[in-house]
């Protein structure tokens, strides 16, 4: 399967919920010949939304990968495409997809422009340095406004959007697009589902607007490309379409600008041009910077791998899907070549793995391969101990590639099996789901006998519950969703002692640790170059050997165990700096277990003396409401202890950005519908943790 990497594009489709990502993906599959008919989301027939839950709800829950061919100017290209979810509860799916992509197409609703989740996705793409195209979709929708949507890309995202297309008409009159590079109008036939494109002259009434944006296109591209700038200043008449394309490609790959296209995927208008633009402006794997990583034996030693099939093999696992025939592990190959049946190393855990089979994926269908080269995205079978974020590589040339960051869950609920048989199955099922979904957590509480599952939102937990009951056939009862609080300290406690001493005939147990605790934020820890793990910084300040070196890791382990299980109400303690300042030991009775216990005792005692507080998750809530309901909506937000931090008018609708505690937002969507006659919409995402008012803290801790 040796492929010319310059003919490969790894791209993702991402956007706010309901902007039409999956509809765009379905059209791409149809026009590239992967599907012989178009699957519609509203009919529950979309290829990329192949889970039963996705088809029923009409939303994307997990990212789906496919490989499709595309021909442009008689050259054959290969496009690896990933369709990602828009709902914030599944933001992890977007995160892991962007980590392995070389480019993305951000889809926007032609009426709404940039929405809340569009901003989140855009920031994720910024973090991974992913070049992007923008596609203003739904230009056939009533109220669609290209000028407004285009302006919102520049104003709300702060992005250097460059229009390369204009719409011909809007709403029911939307009939095609104007290509500003070629200065031609393009019509898409209704006979063969938009398959035939007709190029014609630009309508006279749109010529002035087209010339204005063509001039802006040349000017904007000149700003990001020195060769174009020289021509622009000396002899603008010499600027050809090839110059514009080359400059735009350079600027897009360097993430200095973002080409903006438009269309209506549902009406089959403009989708082929997204593929052409992906070929013209998005990078192939060789145009991306070398992949960064570290030496497994010395994490301070940086390493890189070129996107080259002849380099040592390295790949990143970005998704694990449990399957009846063995787990499917999705990988992005960054360097080298992988043959079927090869032994590879997971340098993170030191285990060797066997890649028994390799598949090119098409949603949930697969095509077996003998080998795969750098730059490709495939699924492999045979990996037993490699999870999302892990590296697999050539055992002779180990490297750990940069991992991805996973958000902490904000909501949890109790779950219990109905029968003894269900109890046996539940443990394995939760382990399987944890492997597939790194934003999901589960743990068993020994004291209450409850299993607690935690995730990114109410919808996320509901989908997991349905997966257990419907797909895995396990009978479970679930409690009400609960907020995942955190504990912290607001003061300092100096030299607090934890003494663990037991004598019961024969050898005793003796451990003595003295700690100082103080508050610290992740930003402060980073500035002071202190390593924060799970919200706790541990510093060894022992001098003079009062505690032997071999016992210090045990004290740290005890401290971290105590922090994880909480002090006030069983919630994890975060943003704490712990300094081990003193202690003592016994020649015979001291042991690792004794010092673990001493560390736990000292930490708990110190936290109780350092003004402990409860932190609650605060959500960023964005509400779009008709102006006439503004009073109702704002009053309701105030009653939920929320604050409106920003508001703007969009036509006759008002967009409110608010900060509201998660505990006050259960069932908010239903309440919002009833107070606005179903005309307002909202979206929310985790923002931060804040100290909870004392009265409310007491109420939570009493539960």
Render pLDDT for 158-184 as a digit per residue (tens, 0 to 9): 899 999 999 999 888 898 999 999 999
Q: Which residues pair with 626 in a beta bridge?
A: 653
Q: Choose the CATH number for 615-702 among 2.40.70.10, 3.30.70.240, 3.10.20.30, 3.40.50.2300.
A: 3.30.70.240
Residue 604 makes CB contacts below 8 A (sequence gap 6+) with 498, 562, 567
Asked whether the beta carbons of 185 and 202 are under 8 A apart, the reply is: yes
**Is domain 411-484 classified as CATH 3.20.20.30?**
no
Q: Would you say how long the chain is, in residues?
A: 703
Nearest Cα residue to 646 out of 622, 671, 675, 682: 622
Confidence class of residue 64 from pLDDT cuts 50, 70 and 90? low
pLDDT in tens, 595-646: 999 999 999 999 999 999 999 999 888 888 888 899 999 999 999 999 999 9
Whether the pLDDT of residue 458 is over 80: the answer is: no
pLDDT at 232: 86
Grouping H, G, I as helix, E, B as strand and the rest as coil, residue 653 is strand
Which pair of structure tokens corresponds to residue 455? 């995730």
CATH architecture of 487-610: 2-Layer Sandwich (3.30)
Whether the pLDDT of residue 131 is over 70: the answer is: yes
Confidence class of residue 513 from pLDDT cuts 50, 70 and 90? very high
Nearest Cα residue to 165 out of 193, 140, 191, 139: 139
Nearest Cα residue to 97 out of 107, 86, 108, 84: 84
255-259, 409-413, 471-475, 524-528: lowest mean pLDDT where? Answer: 409-413
Q: What is the mean pLDDT of residues 648-676?
A: 85
Chain centroid, CA 14 distance in Å? 10
| String of DSSP letters for 312-379 | PPEEEEEEEE--TTS-EEEEEEEESEEETT-EEEETTTTEEEE--EEEEEETTEEEEESEEETT-EEE
Asked whether the beta carbons of 357 and 393 are under 8 A apart, the reply is: no
Q: What is the mean pLDDT of residues 419-434?
A: 85
Q: Which residues pair with 578 in a beta bridge?
A: 517, 538
pLDDT in tens, 679-695: 787 877 788 899 998 88
pLDDT in tens, 376-385: 888 899 888 8
pLDDT at 657: 92
Q: Which residues pair with 516 in a beta bridge?
A: 579
pLDDT at 442: 85
- The overall average pLDDT reported for the chain is 85
Confidence class of residue 83 from pLDDT cuts 50, 70 and 90? low
Q: Are the folds of 5-202+258-287 and 291-401 the same? A: no
Name the range with the highest mean pLDDT among 103-112, 456-465, 661-670. Answer: 103-112
Q: How far apart are CA 580 and CA 603, in angstroms?
A: 10
Buried b (16+ CB within 10 A) or exposed e, 183-221: eebbbbeeeeebeeeeeeebeeeeeeebeebbeebbebb
Nearest Cα residue to 515 out of 590, 573, 583: 583
Domain 291-401: give its CATH code: 2.40.30.10
pLDDT at 53: 46
pLDDT in tens, 283-332: 998 898 888 899 988 878 889 999 888 999 999 988 887 766 667 888 88
pLDDT at 514: 95
Which pair of structure tokens corresponds to residue 394? 């050539």
| String of DSSP letters for 533-597 | ETTEEEEE---TTSS-GGGHHHHHHHHHHHHHH-SSSSPPB-SEEEEEEEEE--TTTB-HHHHHH
pLDDT in tens, 25-42: 778 878 877 554 454 444
pLDDT at 554: 94
414-418, 579-583, 598-602: lowest mean pLDDT where? Answer: 414-418
Q: Which residues pair with 302 in a beta bridge?
A: 294
Which pair of structure tokens corresponds to residue 652? 């006759």
pLDDT at 93: 65
Q: How far apart are CA 316 and CA 383, in angstroms?
A: 12
Of residues 590 and 604, more confidence is placed in: 604
- Backbone dihedral region of 570: left (phi > 0), alpha (psi from -120 to 50 degrees) or beta? left
Q: What is the mean pLDDT of residues 452-473?
A: 81
Asked whether the beta carbons of 335 and 304 are under 8 A apart, the reply is: no
Whether the pLDDT of residue 562 is over 50: the answer is: yes
Nearest Cα residue to 266 out of 81, 102, 20, 468: 20
Whether the pLDDT of residue 240 is over 60: the answer is: yes
Strands 482-483 and 291-295: unpaired
Strands 411-417 and 482-483: antiparallel
Angle at which helix 630-639 crosses helix 668-675, to 10 degrees, equals 150
Whether the pLDDT of residue 486 is over 70: the answer is: yes
- Backbone dihedral region of 363: left (phi > 0), alpha (psi from -120 to 50 degrees) or beta? left
- Report percent pLDDT > 90 for the chain: 38
Residue 404 makes CB contacts below 8 A (sequence gap 6+) with 95, 96, 99, 318, 388, 389
CATH architecture of 5-202+258-287: 3-Layer(aba) Sandwich (3.40)
Q: Which helix (H) or strand (E) holds 673?
A: helix 668-675
Whether the pLDDT of residue 121 is over 90: the answer is: no
pLDDT at 92: 66
* Matching residue, tokens 């409690």: 479
- Report percent pLDDT > 70 for the chain: 90
Neighbours of 472 (CB within 10 A): 18
Domain boundaries, the chain: 5-202+258-287, 291-401, 411-484, 487-610, 615-702
């Amino acid at each position: 399967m040796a492929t010319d990497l310059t003919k490969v594009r790894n791209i993702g489709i991402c956007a706010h919920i309901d902007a039409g990502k999956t509809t765009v993906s379905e059209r791409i599959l149809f026009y590239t010949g992967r599907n012989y008919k178009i699957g519609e989301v509203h009919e529950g027939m979309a290829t990329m939304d192949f889970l039963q839950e996705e088809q029923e709800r009409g939303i994307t829950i997990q990212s789906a990968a496919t490989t499709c061919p595309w021909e442009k100017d008689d050259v054959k290209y290969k496009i690896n495409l990933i369709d990602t979810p828009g709902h914030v509860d599944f933001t992890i799916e977007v995160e892991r997809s962007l980590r392995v992509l070389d480019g993305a197409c951000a889809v926007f609703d032609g009426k709404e422009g940039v929405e809340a989740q569009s901003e989140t996705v855009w920031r994720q793409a910024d973090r991974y340095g992913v070049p992007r195209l923008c596609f203003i979709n739904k230009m056939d929708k009533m109220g669609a406004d290209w000028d407004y949507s285009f302006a919102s890309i520049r104003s709300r995202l702060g992005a250097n959007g460059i229009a390369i297309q204009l719409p011909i008409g809007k709403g029911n009159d939307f009939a095609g697009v104007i290509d500003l590079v070629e200065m031609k109008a393009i019509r898409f036939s209704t006979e063969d589902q938009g398959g035939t494109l007709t190029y014609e002259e630009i309508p006279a009434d749109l010529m002035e607007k087209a010339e204005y944006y063509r001039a802006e296109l040349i000017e904007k591209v000149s700003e990001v490309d020195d060769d174009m700038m020289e021509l622009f200043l000396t002899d603008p008449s010499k600027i050809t379409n090839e110059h514009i394309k080359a400059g735009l490609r350079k600027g897009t790959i360097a993430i200095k600008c973002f080409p903006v296209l438009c269309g209506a995927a549902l009406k089959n208008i403009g989708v082929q041009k997204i593929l052409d633009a992906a070929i013209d402006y998005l990078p192939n794997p060789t145009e991306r910077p070398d992949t960064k990583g570290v030496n497994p034996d010395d994490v301070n030693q940086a390493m890189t791998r070129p996107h080259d099939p002849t380099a040592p093999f390295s790949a990143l696992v970005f998704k694990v899907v449990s399957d009846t025939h063995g787990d499917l592990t999705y990988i992005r190959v960054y360097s080298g070549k992988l043959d079927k049946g090869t032994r590879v190393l997971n340098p993170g855990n030191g285990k060797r793995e066997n890649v028994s089979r390799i598949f090119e994926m098409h949603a949930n269908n697969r095509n077996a391969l003998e080998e795969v080269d750098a730059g490709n995205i495939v699924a492999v079978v045979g990996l037993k101990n490699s999870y999302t974020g892990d590296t697999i590589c050539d055992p002779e040339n180990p490297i750990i590639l940069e991992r991805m960051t996973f958000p902490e869950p904000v909501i949890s609920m109790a779950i219990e099996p109905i029968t003894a048989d269900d109890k046996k199955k539940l443990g394995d099922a939760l382990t399987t789901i944890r492997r597939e979904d790194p934003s999901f957590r589960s743990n068993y509480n020994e004291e209450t006998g409850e299993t607690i599952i935690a995730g990114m939102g109410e919808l996320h937990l509901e989908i997991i519950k349905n997966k257990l009951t419907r797909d895995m056939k396990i009978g479970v009862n679930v409690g009400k969703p609960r907020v995942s609080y955190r504990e912290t300290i607001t003061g300092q406690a100096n030299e607090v002692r934890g003494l663990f001493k037991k004598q019961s005939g024969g050898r005793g147990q003796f451990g003595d640790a003295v700690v100082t605790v103080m508050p610290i934020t992740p930003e402060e820890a980073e500035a002071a170059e202190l390593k924060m793990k799970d919200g706790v910084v541990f510093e060894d300040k022992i001098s003079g050997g009062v505690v032997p070196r071999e016992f210090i890791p045990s004290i740290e382990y005890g401290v971290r165990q105590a922090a994880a299980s909480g002090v006030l109400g069983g919630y994890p303690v975060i943003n704490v700096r712990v300094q081990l300042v003193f202690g003592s030991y016994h020649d015979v009775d001291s042991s690792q277990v004794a010092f673990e216990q001493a560390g736990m005792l000292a930490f708990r005692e110190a936290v109780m003396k350092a003004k402990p507080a409860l932190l609650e998750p605060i959500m960023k809530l964005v509400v779009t409401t008709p102006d006439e309901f503004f009073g109702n909506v704002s009053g309701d937000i105030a009653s939920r202890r929320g604050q409106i931090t920003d508001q703007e008018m969009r036509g006759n609708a008002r967009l409110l950005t608010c900060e509201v505690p998660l505990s006050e937002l259960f069932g908010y969507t239903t309440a919002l519908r009833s107070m606005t006659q179903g005309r307002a919409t909202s979206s929310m995402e985790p923002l931060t943790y804040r100290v909870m008012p004392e009265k409310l803290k007491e109420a939570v801790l009493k539960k």
